[in-house]
A and B are shown apart, each in its own frame.
Chain A
Amino acid sequence: MTFLLQTLILGALVGGVYALMSSGFTLTFGVMRIINLAHPAMLVLSAYLTWWLWRRTGVDPLLAGVGICVIMYGVGWLLYRAVISRVQRIDPELTLVASFGVAVAAGGIMAFIWGTEVRTATPSYFNTSYEVGSLLIPRAQLFACAGALLLLGALYALLHGTFLGRGIRACATNRDGAALVGIDVDRMMAQTFAIGAATTGFGGAALSVLYQFVPDSHFVWIGRVLCVVILGGLGSFAGVGLGALVLGIGEALTASYFDVRWATAVPYVLIIAILVIRPQGLIRRRLRTDGALP
């Protein structure tokens, strides 16, 4: 019983981190209908930046992650202006392919800069735990999850409490309508993409502490992020929380009760299963073709 509870807690903590990692992806899809396969590469880039900063200065990686959000905001804005917006004008269907190209190239660039050795950031609380009764709550996971939830809250407040957020949500529901009432749609798109990228700042920082990574790791993270957003229903914001929880706990249960080697298969099995059985995701009733954010 303790073992099960322990597994569930670990899964849930990781799930919180997954939720933040996937929120930016689902935001970009919900508002712009873009499957941004470069999103996981940005996660790994953030992980490298965090790790590098931590190695150089000894600053706490998770705290550094908050600052890296700002950098990633800039990276996202640049990527949108330089590539994504242009491809969208030429042929929207190619956006996904182009973003995949960006991801692959980014993997190569990271390998040039940081090499292909396995990295991970190990701050003082790495591999230590709080003991609650007979349960162990690992500090790194707890801090990462708490930070992720805080940032998710901030993102929610941004989307629902500011003019910018209203503009973004308006574009998500009806782009032409938004343009008619005076919203600068192109600016909103750039902002959405940049905000989506910014979420990878802390997501990547958490990654650097909780996981080992190499430049190619972004392929693995494509699987995890896609799994979370598909489980929740592509573009659904609330669904991300549920999807992340299901994946986190699913992976933890598989590793604990079945075989660690198969834990990596969980995202792919879930993706295929959900798209066959319930393509609209766990909580969405129908795949909507227009708006996306709740």
Chain B
Amino acid sequence: MSVARLPRLLLAAGVLLVALVPLLTPNTYIQNMLILTFVLAILASGWNVMAGFTGYVSLGHAAFIGVGAYTGGILAAHWEVSPLLVAPLGGVAAALVAFVLGLVTRRTRGAAFVIVSFAMLELLGLITRNWTSLTNGSNGFLMPLPGWDLRFQNWPFYYALLFLLLLSVAMTAGIRRSKLGLGLMAIRDDEVKAEGIGVVTSVYKSIAFMASAVLIGVAGTVYGYYVSFLDTSAMFDISLSMEVVLAALIGGRGTVWGPVLGAFLLQPLTEVTNTTMGGAHAGAFRLVLFGGLIVVVTLLLPRGILPEAQDFLRRRRKTSPTGTRLADSAIPAAPSSPRLEALAGRGGDLLRIGNVSRRFGGVTALDEVSFGVPQGSITALIGPNGSGKTTLFNVVDGTYRAGAGGVEYGGRDISKVGRARRAFLGIGRTYQLPRLFDSLTVLENVAAATGEFRFSRLARSAVSGAEAARAAELLEFVGMGEYVAAKAKDLSYGQRKLVELAQILMLDPAIILLDEPAAGINPTLVKRLAALIRTLNNSGRTFVIVEHDMHFVMSLSDPVVALARGRVIAAGTPAEVCDDPAVLDAYLGDDFVLEADTIGSAR
């Protein structure tokens, strides 16, 4: 326990020391250096929310400083008040710009976003330069002189920025622990999958982007007031953006304190180069140094100082978790489900596929497919590769829109409902190759899933409390309870399948779509999986299973639907479908014999 507390004590001591600096020394040089460090740290900390957590790397973050500074400056001049008073409005302006930037990510991600962020920075700089009537253009904008007694030196700037920095760290730490933060990291690892487990990516991203920019905007006004003269090229500066990226990179992207650490390492370096090298060469030298540092860090320390250090400590402390053999443990009772209680006694078809067609260019993947999934059933979907089974899953869970026809769920047409909303309605889906968020732990993978959207729930802690308890319970149920702390990327293929099942159980689904659950895993695990499915089914959950393992399918399912070339060629009980000549011809083969005892053991 004391070992865990040590870093915290050190941090507290460090913060206290930094807070006391202006009182201990009247040296304005040191104050100035720390003020600039705070600004860089606030920038890097905000950048981290967008790039480190959410995975949208930005080269334009310096623009939020400029937006904040000019907004604050112009408003302060207009209302004739202190810029410190209107600083929050600088934050609002920056958040609005970030929101608009976030809208772009609805259609672009990855490399394209970097480009947009760069374009935003340059464009805003140009607008500021050219809109002379408002900003005084390239002649620069003059902020008022500080109104306080000279004895106080730069204290108001110093403490305002220190406060903003601590606020920024607190916000980052809060996001990191919250349901929102898990959703953001899920977006970073696999945005498409995240939407399928109830992460409303557009809302999450908008919040993250605004959170990323708002404090930078406030700091921008304070910083602008501090430098007292706003120059367009210094306020919308690509090399400041570069320092931000570098600081976060050095300290560690995706960690709470990493970007701050990076800023405190980097800013003194800037000062050293400025003082040791004079004139024009200082600028050139700084570029070579920082550009070179970026290259060196990406090559030698790609994850940053903090993650490497944490890994080092973890390796020393304990080995990775090993569980008991899965097959040895009994299947626990199925987890409780509020949703099923509401659905109980409805009867009839829970899911109806009505004349669904879907084409990809010249390929007709689904051709007027119609069938129903009775509530409480385990419906199997069989057919040769390329017959449209996975495409059908994609249409049901909303990954694709049906080209024609409709999907009805619980008596309601859901053809136009988005993916996350379908997860909220109770549709859970696993993938043929399990898709987990590799950088998250097993527990976080499960806790990231959410069966409803409420702003209040976003703020909830995901690593402790009710959410985490529920996730742990579900992992216990699938038999992965001893792996909660393991990273998803360290799991075996079979384990990933189980975790993915637990993950969608977090949605409290009424219907579960399993894409080849038994493929590629050992026979003991297949048996266990079948037992899990049966237990969940007995508790009222409906299943649709795509599977090639006929004994697995036949022992579990009723009814069975056979697809070939995008059409339903047979549907009925396992025995009926197995005897159907069309199915034998298209899929099973003439020599297929279904063992009687497997059918007998169904249910």
User: Which A residues form the contact surface with B (CB < 8 A)?
Assistant: 29, 33, 35, 83, 86-87, 90-91, 93-94, 96-98, 100-109, 111-112, 115-116, 215, 219, 222-223, 226, 230, 234, 259, 261-262, 264-265, 267-269, 271-272, 275-276, 279
**Could you tell me if A223 and B119 are in contact, using CB atoms closer than 8 angstroms?**
yes
Look across to chain A and name the residue whose beta carbon is closest to the beta carbon of B120.
A272
Interchain CB contact (< 8 A) of A265 among B126, B287, B294: B126
A104 neighbours in B (Cβ, 8 Å): 239, 242, 287, 290-291, 294
Sample of 11 further A-B pairs with CB below 8 A, known A101-B246, A106-B291, A223-B119: A97-B249, A101-B290, A101-B295, A101-B298, A105-B292, A107-B291, A108-B286, A108-B288, A272-B116, A275-B116, A276-B103
Interchain CB contact (< 8 A) of A268 among B107, B114, B119, B246: B119
**Could you tell me if A226 and B302 are in contact, using CB atoms closer than 8 angstroms?**
no
- The distance in angstroms between the C-alpha atoms of A272 and B280, with both chains bound, is 34
A230 neighbours in B (Cβ, 8 Å): 112, 115
Can you show 9 pairs from A to B with CB atoms below 8 A apart?
A97-B57, A98-B294, A100-B291, A104-B239, A105-B291, A108-B287, A226-B118, A268-B126, A275-B108
**Chain B: interface size category:** 35 or more
B151 to chain A, nearest CB (A): 41
B122 CB-CB contact with A under 8 Å: yes
User: Which B residues form the contact surface with A (CB < 8 A)?
Assistant: 57, 59, 103-104, 107-108, 111-112, 114-116, 118-120, 122-123, 126-127, 129-130, 238-239, 242, 245-246, 249, 280-281, 283-295, 298-299, 302
Interchain CB contact (< 8 A) of B130 among A90, A98, A262: A262
**Could you tell me if B118 and A223 are in contact, using CB atoms closer than 8 angstroms?**
yes
B103 neighbours in A (Cβ, 8 Å): 276
**Could you tell me if B107 and A98 are in contact, using CB atoms closer than 8 angstroms?**
no
Interchain CB contact (< 8 A) of A101 among B118, B130, B291: B291
A243 to chain B, nearest CB (A): 13
Look across to chain A and name the residue whose beta carbon is closest to the beta carbon of B241.
A100
A279 neighbours in B (Cβ, 8 Å): 107-108, 112
**Could you tell me if A276 and B298 are in contact, using CB atoms closer than 8 angstroms?**
no
B107 neighbours in A (Cβ, 8 Å): 275-276, 279
B120 neighbours in A (Cβ, 8 Å): 268, 272
- The distance in angstroms between the C-alpha atoms of A100 and B292, with both chains bound, is 10
B246 neighbours in A (Cβ, 8 Å): 101
**Could you tell me if B242 and A100 are in contact, using CB atoms closer than 8 angstroms?**
yes
A49 to chain B, nearest CB (A): 18
B285 neighbours in A (Cβ, 8 Å): 108, 112
**Could you tell me if B111 and A234 are in contact, using CB atoms closer than 8 angstroms?**
yes
B253 to chain A, nearest CB (A): 10
- The distance in angstroms between the C-alpha atoms of A272 and B122, with both chains bound, is 11
- The distance in angstroms between the C-alpha atoms of A97 and B248, with both chains bound, is 12
* Residue with the highest number of chain B CB atoms closer than 10 Å, among A109, A259, A271: A271
**Could you tell me if A271 and B115 are in contact, using CB atoms closer than 8 angstroms?**
yes
**Could you tell me if A109 and B288 are in contact, using CB atoms closer than 8 angstroms?**
yes
**Could you tell me if B123 and A98 are in contact, using CB atoms closer than 8 angstroms?**
no
- The distance in angstroms between the C-alpha atoms of A276 and B122, with both chains bound, is 17
- The distance in angstroms between the C-alpha atoms of A107 and B238, with both chains bound, is 13
- The distance in angstroms between the C-alpha atoms of A259 and B130, with both chains bound, is 10
Q: Top 4 nearest A-B pairs by Cβ distance?
A: A101-B294, A105-B291, A108-B287, A104-B291
**Could you tell me if A111 and B302 are in contact, using CB atoms closer than 8 angstroms?**
no
B122 neighbours in A (Cβ, 8 Å): 219, 223, 268
B239 neighbours in A (Cβ, 8 Å): 104
B59 neighbours in A (Cβ, 8 Å): 100
**Could you tell me if A101 and B292 are in contact, using CB atoms closer than 8 angstroms?**
yes
- The distance in angstroms between the C-alpha atoms of A61 and B61, with both chains bound, is 38
**Could you tell me if A269 and B115 are in contact, using CB atoms closer than 8 angstroms?**
no
B123 neighbours in A (Cβ, 8 Å): 265, 268-269, 272
